Amino acid sequence: MRLKTAALLVLLGLLTMLAGIGQLTFWAPAETVTASVPGDTKAAPLTVIDQKLIALHDGPVKIKIQGEGDYTISTGRPDDVNAWVGKTAHTTLTGVSADQKSLEVTSADGDAKAPSPAGSDLWVSTEDANGEFEYTWNPPADGEWSLLVASDGTKPAPSAISMTFPNKATTPWAVPLIVLGIIIILVGAALPFIAKALGSRRKGGEGDGPHDGGATTALPVQSPAGDEGRRRTGGAEGPALRVTALAAALAAVMVGGSAVAAQATTSPDATSSSSASAPAEGDAGTPVMLESQLQRILEQVASTVDAADAAKDAAKLAPRVDKMELQIRTQNYKIRSTVSAYEPRMPVRATKLQSSVISTKKDWPRTVYALTQGDGNVVPQVLTLVQLSPRENYKLWGTAPLQPGTNFPSFPVPRKGTSPVPASDSTGLAYSGNQALEILSEMLTNPDSPNRSKLADGQSSPYIAGALSYQADTVKNGTSANFKFTHTPATSQTVVLKTADGGALVVGRLDFSFEGTPKAAGDKLLLEDDSAVFAGGKETTTGMVLNFAESVAVYIPPAGSSDPMKLVAATRGLVGASFK
């Protein structure tokens, strides 16, 4: 009987251990699961792979796309992807079905066409594909990301898409079953020896009694009929039953332990799943682009400006230059086409990005500053780049070389971005952006400005000193004319971004007007060759007006600081001349 019980326990242990091993081998779930877009999905010019789907599982996600002809896969922030899609009809892949075989899809009606997303500055990266395309998704940086799949915006976007994810299925019982099986086998193997030892001990105790030679009388005792049988059974099979009961108790303990182990194994997954599905912290402080994006944009801007400068063709500037910089370079080309000795505008370079200032402002227009230097840049220059809407690219609005002896302010690291400030808001600042440019304008117009102490170095600032000297020399040499000089901020082009110390850098435009009127009848005013290009002549007896655009950058200290403002960068360019 003892051998049969032991054999059964060993067999039970082997089966239990085999079940545990099977969960780790031939019964183990697949390492990955693949879900596909249903075949009846409605065609649309754009397909969006939502960030929630991409982040649904931890680990790498493999994406397979089957399309006809050329198409692109663009990576961008969810807000940017949604803004670019706008009112265009599109299909969005949002999740995975319960059986993990199909991708959940939503369709939105809208415009039947859209511009091609290829080449947009919104994207961190773009993959060009044709036919079948496979790649493993890796996030380019922290935060949330979505994918946009499109052909040329007019043809249907590829929708034959499948995604392969790591399988979350686990085998929490595998190890507990193996351990339990081993213990049951050991108990079964030890059972005959334990039973034999207990039996020998009982036999050794039989016949014990008084040994002093005295007589002993045994009195009959009435017992239930079953007692004798129980006593006989207890004498013959008691050890085996007790050992079997012991094994059962151990098995029960191990099953309980394995349940605890299973819970311990699955709990982290549940916690992880909960954390993954919880909404991420608001990324109000997320910069609107990565530094790699900015570098790519700068290279394209520099290449565009180089080509236009070489050809003196303003039409070539249109894709990447606008506002003040477009006006100044256009007029510079016009002058140089007639006056060969006229100095060209400082070239734009992207070879050495010394500093970048990336805004966290999500809506449009968006502004970025870059401090660059390269061939032809005697000093670094501040570039102002603006994106007016999601489907437009960044354009260069202004360039201004750093003032000699001036340091560019410190900004938060690019991966954190910096906050924009309304030009009229002075909260936390010594002055608002508009006030700062008003004070600078006054100093450039009036040598005796009462606000001189509010701007560092006052008249000794190279640019301010140069402007005031030019105006004073003009008055001194033009004895037969009256002159008037005015510098006025163009508030529509003023941008303010916070610096690391709580101050701000305001970059904007001043319109510099220079008027001359003869003092007496017959007096003449003579224009330089560059001005004559716009005025249509070199002499006037009625008066003239010269117009310049000034690009400036001023550092504003934080509120409570005793430090004055600083003119960080400045330059000007002739943009027009006319006779009265």
Q: What is the distance of C-alpha 103 from the center of its chain?
A: 25
Per-residue pLDDT at 169: 58
Average pLDDT (164-173) is 69
- Give the pLDDT of residue 28: 55
The 10s digit of each residue's pLDDT in 401-455 is: 999 888 899 998 777 889 899 999 999 999 999 999 999 999 999 988 888 889 8
pLDDT on residue 431: 97
Please give the pLDDT value at position 273.
Answer: 35
* 195-209 b/e (C-beta count within 10 Å ≥ 16 → b): beeebeeeeeeeeee
Mean per-residue pLDDT of the chain: 83
- What's the per-residue H, E or C state across 271-328? HHHHHHHCCCCCCCCCCCCCHHHHHHHHHHHHHHHHHHHHHCCHHHHCCCECHHHHHH
Q: Helix 2-24 vs helix 225-277: angle between axes, to the nearest 10 degrees?
A: 10
Predicted local distance difference test score (pLDDT) of residue 274: 33
3-class SS at 503?
A: coil
Nearest in space to 161 (alpha carbons), one of 29, 255, 67 = 67
**Which residue type is seen at 66?**
Q
How confident is the model at residue 128, as a pLDDT? 93
Question: What does the pLDDT read at residue 479?
Answer: 83
Choose the weakest-confidence range: 34-43, 140-149, 266-275. 266-275
* pLDDT (tens digit per residue) in 315-330: 999 999 999 999 999 9
- Other residues' Cβ atoms within 10 Å of the Cβ of residue 561: 14
**Residues of the chain with pLDDT > 70: what percent?**
80
pLDDT in tens, 208-244: 444 444 443 343 444 444 444 444 444 444 444 444 4
Query: Which whole-number Å values give the CA distances from 136 to 62, 103, 125, 165, 373, in the listed order?
Result: 4, 17, 14, 10, 37
Q: Is the pLDDT of residue 145 over 50?
A: yes
Q: What percent of the chain has pLDDT over 90?
A: 59
pLDDT of residue 269: 37
- Looking at residue 459, its pLDDT comes to 58
- pLDDT at residue 415, rounded to an integer: 75
Strands 544-556 and 566-579: antiparallel
Q: What dihedral angle (degrees, nearest 10) is formed by the CA atoms of 494, 500, 501, 503?
A: 10
Confidence check: pLDDT of 284 > 80: no
Helix axes 291-311, 323-336, angle to 10 degrees: 20
Q: What is the pLDDT of residues 506-556, one digit of tens each?
A: 999 999 999 999 999 889 999 999 999 999 999 999 999 999 999 999 999
pLDDT at 26: 58
Within 10 A of 74 (CB to CB), how many other CB atoms are there? Answer: 22
Buried b (16+ CB within 10 A) or exposed e, 414-452: beebbebbebeebeebbbbbbbbbbbbbbbbbeeebebb
For residues 145 and 76, the answer to whether their CB atoms sit within 8 Å is yes
Q: Please check the confidence at residue 54 and state whether its pLDDT lies above 70.
A: yes
pTM exceeds 0.85 for this model: no
Question: pLDDT tens, 171-213?
Answer: 666 577 778 878 887 877 777 777 677 767 666 655 444 444 4
Q: What amino acid occupies position 212?
A: D
Q: What angle do CA 421, 426, 427 make, to 5 degrees?
A: 85
- Strand 90-96 and strand 103-108: the pairing is antiparallel
Give me the amino acid identity at 550: E
Q: Which two tokens stand for residue 443?
A: 């100093």
CA quadruple 25, 27, 30, 35: dihedral, nearest 10: 180
Residue 10: which H helix or E strand, with range? helix 2-24
Burial of 220 (0-12, 13-18, 19+ CB in 10 A): exposed
pLDDT for 393 beyond 80: yes
Cα dihedral across residues 444, 450, 454, 458: positive or negative: positive
Per the listing, tokens 């039989």 go with: 206
- Note the pLDDT of residue 442: 95
Whether the pLDDT of residue 120 is over 90: the answer is yes
